[in-house]
Amino acid sequence: MSAAADSLIPNSRREARLIQLRIGLRRVLRNPSTLVGGILVLLLLVMAALAPLLATHDPMAQSLVDRLTPPGAQHWLGTDQLGRDIYSRLLYGAQPTLMIVILVIAFSAPLGLIIGMVAGYMGGWVESALMRLTDIFMAFPRLILALALVSALKPGLTNAVIAIAITAWPSYARLARAETLALRHADFVEAARGLGQTGTRIVIGQILPLCLSSAAIRATLDMAGIILTAAGLGFLGLGAQPPMAEWGAMIGTGRDHIFDAWWVAAVPGIAILLVSLGFNLLGDGLRDVLDPKHHD
């Protein structure tokens, strides 16, 4: 207990939470990975949110006269085969990318956590059944399963989200089960039982908070993969449908001109690379920051 911690004695629940938040934030800012990753992710957020303000052109406006213009003063990052401004499309393309990531995580992480925690806590045949189901989903390569699902449903952004989410939850289930198994007989869980708490309350009140940090790390690391899968689906024409600007689809259309107009595919490619890198760095850094073995 350092002197710094002593000077911060919280007097209410709210204050305690704020102080925790401040300590956490300070740790995040001090870690180079989280800092760089955070900046890249923040950039993505700003791009998506302020796309209408930052864009120089209408992302849908075609101008066949200007098609495949190289980067220059008029079109900062050039134009594509329909003469649309790539810079503006990149900005607007951040929106579906971000939406896919958020929706997939919002759907798959809670689902996986619930399945894993229930399996770990109940044990017995419930655990066997749930974990075999998880194994089945894990056995398929993610992109293949997503491909199969999307083509079975109908190409489109919503179905891409559903498909990716269905392939994303098993890793959370595994993680939550492993944590729950380790915690199921921890003294503090027994103590909660000794107070009279039962099943659901123990899982949500005692075990969930301890699974959250590893799930958050997993989620940030996962986001890069989700972006790539979404881009892959877009590239194959199974994700966002034209004329919507989506990074994967942008690469897909740029493929035909890769030798004479490299920028059409390269610009969204670099964007995907940077954002994936950002999420990965953030996840790595969060693991350092949140893992209790690294401090105290």
Residues interacting with other proteins, by CB under 8 A?
1-5, 9-13, 15-16, 20, 186-188, 190-198, 205-206, 209-210, 292, 296
What CA dihedral angle connects 140, 210, 200 and 123, to 10 degrees?
Answer: 50
CB atoms near residue 278 (< 10 Å): 23
Query: Smallest distance, Å, CB 102 to other proteins?
Result: 25
Residue located via tokens 């950002």 = 278
Q: Are 225 and 142 in contact (CB under 8 A)?
A: yes
For residues 207 and 201, give the distance between their C-alpha atoms in angstroms, rounded to a whole number: 9
By beta-carbon proximity to other proteins, the closer residue of 46 and 126 is: 126
Q: Specify the DSSP element, H or E, that contains 215.
A: helix 208-235
State the Cα–Cα distance between residues 94 and 119, nearest whole angstrom.
37
| Residue number, 62 or 197, with CB nearest to other proteins | 197
Indicate the residue among 191 and 258 with the shorter CB distance to other proteins: 191
The least CB distance from residue 209 to other proteins, in Å, is 4
- Give every CB contact of residue 175 below 8 A, 6+ residues apart in sequence: 112, 116, 211, 214, 215, 218
At closest approach, how far in Å is the CB of 38 from other proteins? 22
Question: Smallest distance, Å, CB 12 to other proteins?
Answer: 7
Coil vs helix vs strand at 222: helix
Q: Which is nearer to other proteins, 13 or 154 (CB)?
A: 13
Give min distance, CB of 16 to other proteins, in A: 4
Say whether the peptide bond before residue 96 is cis (omega within 30 degrees of 0).
Answer: no
Strand partners, 79: 85
Least distance from other proteins to the Cβ atom of residue 208, Å: 9
User: Residue 19 or 273: which CB sits closer to other proteins?
Assistant: 19
Report the nearest approach of other proteins to the CB of residue 218 (Å): 17
Whole-angstrom distance, CA of residue 166 vs CA of residue 145: 9
| Closer residue to other proteins, CB minimum distance, 224 or 286 | 286
Nearer to other proteins, 205 or 243 (CB): 205
CA distance linking residue 158 with residue 233, whole number of Å: 12
Task: State whether residue 79 is helix, strand or coil.
Answer: strand
